[in-house]
């Protein structure tokens, strides 16, 4: 059989050959965490270095597994059907885990960022459309239907989204000032934090949905607020739905659970959502949705004030 040469990243292959930029930052991370001292991390830069190194280490292991899958796929002239399904599952799992690492890396960095917000007028409708477009592939990979954005009961197609760049999200608010209802969904926001907030919250809901499930995003215009509402879970029986609603309500309100029970663990996306929502002066809540009293979906709602109150 012809000898195969797998791509870089295999176990035993030097990572320094394939990841020079990240390794260059490793000494700072090791100095902060590897010398056995209990000194706290004092700066966002040190936190960022640790995050990047940890993400690099996680990716290295996943890349090695993916590389072995590459070798196995080419080791057979005709891959048996069970083996092919296993390889397809490995590839899909690797892509999902790599995406999750990317989300966690961004989320932790945002949580550690102490820079003051830069307020400007933003169009929440445009940002929601862009978040849906950015995460549609993640939904498809999990077999989850990501419905078009619903704006006050009317569906809006993804073609209305603008190109995904850091500047377009902030500039989108003024892209079409004369369009009907152009101001209906504008709020004061920090573009560098609000756009990631929407993406991470959407990813959280996609991950909670089962294969074949659906996630829907709704916007509602109110006199002093713009309300965002996303399906957080599939229909649950009344008891489980009530338990989930209570856990989310306690978490969003930073209230300790009743009866001295330990707090329920929440995703890093919800930790980021709570922090970013509080920074925007918004109100985060859990709601129920469903006509059938026996099966109720849990939704996450955020009411953004149109204007930030001056300190």
pLDDT confidence of residue 225: 96
Token couple for 163: 């190109």
Please, which residues bridge with residue 39 across strands? Answer: none
DSSP for 161-178, written as a single string: PPP--HHHHHHGGGS-TT
Residue ranges of the chain assigned to CATH 3.30.565.10: 120-305
Mean pLDDT of 153-176: 53
Predicted TM-score of the model (pTM): 0.70
pLDDT confidence of residue 163: 42
Confidence of residue 293 (pLDDT cuts 50, 70, 90): low
Neighbouring residues of 270: CB distance < 8 A, sequence distance ≥ 6: 201, 204, 251
Confidence of residue 98 (pLDDT cuts 50, 70, 90): confident
Please determine, for residue 37, whether its predicted confidence score (pLDDT) is greater than 90: no
Please determine, for residue 112, whether its predicted confidence score (pLDDT) is greater than 70: yes
CA distance 256 to 276: 20
Domain 120-305 has CATH 3.40.50.150: no
Least confident of 91-95, 114-118, 196-200, 277-281: 91-95
Please determine, for residue 311, whether its predicted confidence score (pLDDT) is greater than 60: no
Q: Among candidates 229, 226, 274, 273, which has minimal Cα distance to 123?
A: 226
Q: Is 303 helix (H, G, I), strand (E, B) or coil?
A: strand
Cα–chain-centroid distance for residue 194?
Answer: 12
Least confident of 85-89, 159-163, 198-202, 278-282: 159-163
DSSP for 182-235, written as a single string: TTTTEEEE-HHHHHHHHHHHHHHHHHHSPTT-EE-EEEEE-SSEEEEEEE-S--
């Amino acid at each position: 059989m012809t000898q195969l040469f797998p791509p870089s990243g295999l176990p035993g292959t030097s990572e320094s050959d394939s990841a020079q930029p990240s390794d260059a930052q490793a000494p700072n991370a090791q100095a902060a965490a590897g010398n056995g001292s209990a000194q706290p991390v004092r700066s966002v830069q040190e936190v960022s270095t640790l995050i990047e190194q940890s993400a690099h280490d996680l990716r290295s292991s996943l890349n090695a597994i993916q590389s072995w899958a590459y070798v196995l796929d080419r080791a057979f002239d005709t891959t048996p059907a069970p083996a092919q399904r296993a390889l397809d599952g490995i590839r899909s799992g690797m892509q999902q885990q790599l995406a999750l690492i990317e989300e966690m890396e961004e989320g932790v960095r945002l949580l550690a960022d102490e820079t003051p917000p830069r307020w400007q007028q933003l169009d929440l409708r445009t940002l929601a459309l862009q978040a849906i477009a950015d995460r549609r592939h993640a939904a498809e990979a999990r077999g989850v239907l990501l419905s078009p954005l619903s704006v006050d009961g009317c569906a809006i197609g993804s073609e209305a989204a603008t190109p995904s760049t850091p500047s377009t999200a902030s500039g989108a608010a003024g892209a079409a000032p004369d369009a009907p209802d152009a101001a209906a969904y504008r709020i004061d926001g920090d573009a560098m934090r609000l756009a990631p907030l929407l993406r991470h919250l959407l990813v959280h809901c996609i991950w909670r949905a089962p294969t074949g499930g659906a996630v829907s995003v709704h916007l509602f215009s109110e006199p002093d607020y713009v309300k965002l509402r996303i399906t957080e879970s599939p229909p649950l029986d009344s008891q489980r739905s009530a338990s989930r609603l209570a856990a989310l309500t306690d978490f969003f309100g930073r209230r300790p659970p009743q009866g001295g029970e330990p707090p329920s663990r929440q995703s890093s996306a919800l930790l980021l959502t709570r922090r970013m929502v509080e920074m925007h002066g918004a109100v985060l809540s859990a709601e129920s949705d469903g006509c059938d009293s026996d099966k109720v979906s849990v939704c996450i709602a955020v009411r953004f004030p149109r204007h930030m109150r001056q300190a």
